[in-house]
C-alpha cells in the first residue's frame, strides 16, 4: 500500500495545522494546479486530483484524526528518528561530542555496515463490530468466532 502524505501535497511540513490553514492551503494549491489554467498538462490534472483528495480527507475532523494516526506511524516517527539521528551524530561540535559520549553511538557501532532495511510495524486502525449474544451467553459466558477480511482500498 502506498501512503500518500496529504500534508505534503497541501504544502505542509508537519501535521500540526488547523482546519482553517488546510482550507487556505487547499485554495492556493487548487488555483495553482486547476485544469482550466493548465490545459493539456496531465501532471497538473493528477496533482489537482491529489489536492482534492487531501482536502476531502483533512477538512473533516474525524477523518483527519484517523489519518493523523496513520501519518504519525508512517511519516512522523520516521522524521523524528531521522532528526534525532542527525542531532546526535553531529560529532564535529563540542556539544555533539558530549551527547555522543553519553547517549550516542560508539565508534565501533558507527563503522559497522547496516544490513538491509529494518521494517517497522504499522499499527492498523481500530475495528468496531456488534456481536449478538443472548442473556445466557452473557451470564455464563460463551465463545463466538469473528473473522476479519482484508479490504484493498
Q: Which domain holds residue 76?
A: 6-115
Q: How many domains does the chain have?
A: 1
- Burial classification of residue 127, based on how many CB atoms lie within 10 Å of its CB (0-12 exposed, 13-18 middle, 19 or more buried): exposed
Residue 149 lies in a domain: no
Between CA 48 and CA 58, with CA 53 as vertex, the angle to 5 degrees is 125
Per residue of the chain (153 residues), give pLDDT as tens.
567 888 889 998 888 889 999 999 999 999 998 888 888 878 888 899 999 999 999 999 989 888 888 877 777 666 666 666 666 555 456 666 666 666 665 554 444 555 556 666 666 677 777 888 899 888 898 888 887 776 655
Say what the pTM is: 0.51
DSSP-derived 3-state class of residue 112: coil
Is residue 124 situated within a structural domain?
Answer: no
Amino acid at each position: 500500500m502506498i501512503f500518500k502524505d496529504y500534508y505534503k501535497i497541501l504544502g505542509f511540513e508537519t501535521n500540526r495545522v488547523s482546519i482553517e490553514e488546510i482550507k487556505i492551503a487547499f485554495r492556493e494549491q487548487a488555483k495553482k494546479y486547476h485544469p482550466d489554467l493548465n490545459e493539456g498538462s496531465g501532471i497538473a490534472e493528477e496533482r489537482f486530483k491529489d489536492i482534492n483528495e487531501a482536502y476531502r480527507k483533512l477538512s473533516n475532523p474525524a477523518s483527519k484524526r484517523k489519518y493523523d494516526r496513520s501519518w504519525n506511524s508512517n511519516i512522523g516517527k520516521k522524521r523524528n528518528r531521522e532528526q534525532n539521528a542527525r542531532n546526535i551524530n553531529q560529532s564535529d561540535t563540542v556539544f555533539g561530542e558530549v551527547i555522543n559520549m553519553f547517549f550516542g553511538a560508539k565508534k565501533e557501532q558507527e563503522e559497522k555496515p547496516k544490513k538491509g532495511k529494518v521494517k517497522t510495524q504499522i499499527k492498523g486502525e481500530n475495528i468496531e463490530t456488534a456481536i449478538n449474544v443472548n442473556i445466557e451467553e452473557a451470564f455464563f459466558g460463551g465463545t463466538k468466532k469473528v473473522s476479519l477480511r482484508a479490504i484493498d482500498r
